[in-house]
Structure 1
Amino acid sequence: MTLHARAAFLFVMLAAASPAAQAPPAPDLAALVAKAELVDLTHTFNETTLVWPTSDPMRLEKVADGVTAGGWYYASNIVHLTEHGGTHLDAPVHFAAGQTTADKVELSRLVGDAVVIDVSAQSAKDVDYLISVDDLRRWEATHGRISRGSRVLFRTGWSARWPDAVRYLGTALKGAEGVAQLHFPGLAPDLATFLVKERQISLVGIDTASMDRGQSTTFETHRILAAAGVPGLENLTNLDKLPARGAVLFALSMKVGGGSGGPLRAVAVVPR
């Protein structure tokens, strides 16, 4: 629990235990947020948005842009975008039949304390780096054990390569040929199992195109997390602006009924 959350919780408990006349004032959450730094973890959605090689690129279809007959300005567009393009949510149903769809993912998983595990040095040496349980244990040796229900974000440094498809994805090719040439870091399957069983985390996020590394052909990490009901966030950015512990994540995707995922606006609140 963050310092701000603990303070708010303390206020509530004191209010419940005190006579009405002596109850302390409720915490001013707006003031708490005003004193914090807001970090945008989302890449802009536009014609340069990177998508999986088998997906169509984003397209903004202009419907109106100009002065109307009545004399006022009016603009409107239609957005064409895959569920899994750009910064987005992977709902568990994406890789597990009968699991949670995008509109049913619990808000408690998407909002709350987040930790950031930095593996950018390892990833810089190996474009196919598999983030391991050892990486997590080294992080815990410095920052403490990851709490149950945490949201765990992995920083590989890959967001600095956006939107260059060759540097970010490993290829600009499309279709099956492009998929075969994907190169970027991801989570090892045994790490996914460890996060689910040993740490019982709420959510996983990464600043690459997939939680599985680019050269994966079986998507085991996706399947392990999805089967446990754990949603994923992909193509995050600005993780270098977050502390290892102490940020509060708001990862609210489009509420797509029955969807396997959706475009995401992720923001972190960082106490100053």
Structure 2
Amino acid sequence: RTGCAVLIRTGWDARWGTPDYLAANPNLTGEAAEVLVAAGAALVGIDSWNVDDVADLARPVHSRLLAHGIPIIENLRGLERLPRRGFRFHAAPLPIPSGSSIPVRAYAVVIER
């Protein structure tokens, strides 16, 4: 739905704290970014350390999403505990002025139905 956060669960966060975490990670393509833009995503989050293929210095996913005002949150953990739908995602940034990459306190509130 338009205006929703899209959180991408790859399972990569299981490698958190190991040397494998920074290995070639799952990522999105420029085409996937276009789909997210067209769908009206309000935010994109992923449980790996980069939404882009780090070998591609053009960073097409970052470029496309940020050009459309869509924030990106990387390094999420515990997405497997969330239901597919029915929660509100929050990302509270640290108050760092003029930052280009700012840590957030990410959390979700499951909505009782």
- Secondary structure of the equivalent of 1:187? coil
What whole-Å deviation, never above 9, does each CA across 1:221-247 have from its counterpart, x for those lacking one? 110011111110000000000011111
**Is residue 185–residue 214 contact of structure 1 (8 Å, CA) maintained in 2?**
no
> What is the root-mean-square deviation in Å for CA atoms of aligned residues?
1.2
Q: Distance in 1 between matches of 2:53 and 2:14?
A: 17
Equivalent residue, structure 2, for 1:154: 8
Matches of 2:65 and 2:25 in 1, distance apart?
Answer: 19
Of the two, which has the highest radius of gyration? 1
Q: Number of paired residues?
A: 112
Moved over 3 A (4+): none
TM-score by length of 1: 0.40
Q: Report how far residue 213 of structure 1 moved.
A: 2.7
Provide structure 1 residue ranges, at least 5 long, that are not aligned to the other structure.
Answer: 1-146, 171-182
Aligned to 1:53: none
| Higher RCO structure (Cα 8 Å, ≥6 apart) | 1
1:25-40 correspondence to structure 2 within 5 Å:
none
Tell me the residue number matched to 2:89. Answer: 249
* Deviation at residue 194 of structure 1 after TM alignment: 1.3
Q: How does 1:105-124 map to 2 (within 5 A)?
A: none
User: Take 2:41 and 2:29, find their aligned partners in 1: how far apart are those partners?
Assistant: 16
- Cα deviation for residue 154 of structure 1 reads 0.2
User: How far 1:216 moved relative to its partner?
Assistant: 2.9
Counterparts of 1:124-135 in structure 2, within 5 Å, are none
2:22 partner letter = L
Whether 1:224 aligns to 2:77 is no
Gaps of 5+ in 2: none
